[in-house]
């Protein structure tokens, strides 16, 4: 289940990063096509999560934060600070509290 959150986050980040490249770095407008496809996959992946939409979105936030920080490191090539790491751990802890609550 947790891996689904991370794949969902990756689809959203890719879908948002490609238009950013078009707008901010004058890359080809053709990148908007895979961006749209990635955002469509993102929306579809959200429907695969078993919890109610609001709970899914709340728990998903922790995964998104972690994937965004990995993106910062791996794609943007910027080093992560200890505060980035602490924030990711806190976000994942919050995600776990929401996603793994008893009775779910």
Three-class secondary structure of residue 55 per DSSP? helix
**What angle in degrees, to the nearest 10, is found between the helix axes of 53-74 and 82-99?**
160
**What angle in degrees, to the nearest 10, is found between the helix axes of 32-48 and 2-24?**
160
Does residue 45 lie within any of the structural domains? yes
Length of the chain: 104
- Domain ranges, residue 46: 2-99
CA distance 51 to 2: 12
pTM for the full model?
0.83
Pull the structure tokens for residue 84. Answer: 């980035």
Does residue 60 lie within any of the structural domains? yes
Does residue 40 lie within any of the structural domains? yes
Residues 67, 16 contacting (CB under 8 angstroms): no
Bigger pLDDT: 72 vs 53 = 72
Q: What is the pLDDT of residues 7-33, one digit of tens each?
A: 999 999 999 999 999 999 999 999 999
The phi, psi pair for 25, rounded to 5°, reads: -125, 15
Does residue 104 lie within any of the structural domains? no
Does residue 10 lie within any of the structural domains? yes
Q: How many domains does the chain have?
A: 1
Q: What is the pLDDT of residues 55-81, one digit of tens each?
A: 788 888 888 999 999 999 999 999 999
**Res. 1 pLDDT band, cuts 50 70 90:** low
């Amino acid at each position: 289940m947790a891996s689904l959150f991370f794949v969902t986050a990756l689809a959203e980040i890719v879908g948002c990063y490609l238009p950013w490249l078009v707008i901010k770095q004058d890359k080809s407008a053709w990148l908007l096509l895979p961006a749209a496809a990635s955002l469509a996959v993102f929306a579809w992946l959200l429907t695969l999560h078993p919890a109610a939409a609001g709970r899914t979105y709340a728990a998903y936030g922790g995964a998104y934060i972690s994937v965004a920080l990995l993106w910062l490191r791996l794609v943007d090539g910027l080093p992560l600070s200890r505060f980035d790491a602490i924030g990711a751990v806190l976000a994942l802890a919050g995600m776990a509290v929401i996603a793994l609550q008893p009775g779910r």
